[in-house]
Structure 1
């Protein structure tokens, strides 16, 4: 039995862990929401925004363009759906990670590279079936670039996705809700190395810090260390798995161009290659890194702070 479980009942421990994770996920996503919208527009090769790609100056220019044409709220278009996904996803994910870590790595000797990767992969997959439709709706809202007076709503996006399903025939015609899972397979495949890599780097670097730094130094600089380690973890995983993210986003947005069917992995790869060659699989990577560094730094560090505040 862990020291956390000796202080709390199992239920109270899970509730506190979920609150800490949900807070961390919501705070991180809110901080970088405008950058997330620009990244999605670039990843899906939106014709109106491709002129902003390929340059660091393109990011502030794209943000300014959105604010001028859609208002400040346009920078957060679809953010409610982001929170609806991110908060439960982080709450479930971090809680699952706590329990999986206790199960897979109960002793310091059991903290091997394989087990760290496995714990992260399980964490990444745990909440996806429940929260994935929210991500798809958020992407559909993000790719809309119409003027602010006609801003799309989550309900209009939901109705549009359901209509795509009913018009497609076959199994998705019988079960139109399946269209809310466009790109789910590649997302599931991508989350294994992505989340696995994040928690692997996170645990490994924190272990190195504990081994190399004195307890006093660790105590005095704990939040700074967590911010740096979280940033490195997010950066490494983002670079290695970014092509899968581009494919996933393209599939999620594909209903705008192919509403009567869901395009497959091979067709998506071919369309991205045809449009921009191998560089197409890294469109928006600079912005992705610019966003992911603070996202994971804030998320992982605030998770630790929330755990401390909740005494877990």
Structure 2
């Protein structure tokens, strides 16, 4: 018997589940690396000695595990999932719709439209999920006393006395938007371009047989390019997000943040932690994209 087509409600629900599962699984897989990357990016005083060498991130992981236990490696991960799951659920669902709208035919599947579709995907959920990311960063940079989510929320809220307190939950939001456009745009540009090339050059049976492995490889390539191009903006964003500890009474601007990062070690400061950033971001992007495709297939969604 022929299956009935999905209704709009069924489609959106299944798409959100597929995207949310992919985002949550990928973030969990690299959570310890994410915390170390944040500590290195924000030039935390207890972790500066681990910068400047490829072994530094390994020593940083060992230091956290020894001083704070295994749980310390996942500090703030609950907030990460609270942001990552809805962000991925919304983002991937939006991407499928935007892709269908911008590129309904193969002739319209151009590089510019691929970048635009990825950029729209990246910014679609940010206004709703960004405060979770800020709270997660604050929890990640606290090393001596294990913070609670509500404690971090109260601390950020208290920074906004005398003005709209909610604004302090959006420290670094502008630079995040600036970085998201090339980052997400680049990911989906590489992802779609590689898929198009594979379909044109590889036998369909071979593609189907090795689909998960091919998706992982393409996701890794997409994550590598996007991470390298946009990493300095990420360092600036993380520094702004962590700035409330030192300047709780005011918002630290873009120019001031750039100056403070430069003062640490010149242009090299904008690439601090990039090694572990790649080590984390490449598998995370690969896992997220490949899992998304598997979840869509499991839930009978078009790929």
Asked if residue 223 in structure 1 is aligned to residue 221 in structure 2, the reply is no
CA-to-partner distance for each residue in 1:214-252, whole Å, 9 max, x for gaps?
011101110010000000001000000000000000000
| 1:266-281 mapped onto 2 (5 Å cutoff) | 266-281=255-270
Match of 2:126 in 1: 128
Match of 2:93 in 1: 95
Q: CA deviation at 1:177?
A: 1.1
SS in 1 for 2:159: helix
| Deviates further, 116-125 or 55-64 | 55-64
Match of 2:66 in 1: 68
CA-to-partner distance for each residue in 1:106-146, whole Å, 9 max, x for gaps?
01111000100000000000000000000000000000011
Match of 2:41 in 1: 43
Match of 2:77 in 1: 79
CA-to-partner distance for each residue in 1:25-84, whole Å, 9 max, x for gaps?
000000000000000000000011111112222222111110111111000000000000
Asked if residue 9 in structure 1 is aligned to residue 7 in structure 2, the reply is yes
CA distance in 2, matches of 1:245, 1:154: 23
Number of residue pairs the alignment of both structures matches = 299
Match of 1:253 in 2: 242
**Structure 2: any 5+ residue segments left out of the alignment?**
none
TM-score (norm 1): 0.95
Asked if residue 187 in structure 1 is aligned to residue 187 in structure 2, the reply is no
Asked if residue 204 in structure 1 is aligned to residue 199 in structure 2, the reply is no
Asked if residue 152 in structure 1 is aligned to residue 150 in structure 2, the reply is no
**Structure 1: any 5+ residue segments left out of the alignment?**
1-5
4+ residue runs of structure 1 moved beyond 6 angstroms?
Answer: none
CA distance in 2, matches of 1:291, 1:193: 19
CA distance in 2, matches of 1:211, 1:112: 15
TM-score (norm 2): 0.97
Match of 1:176 in 2: 165
Match of 1:3 in 2: none
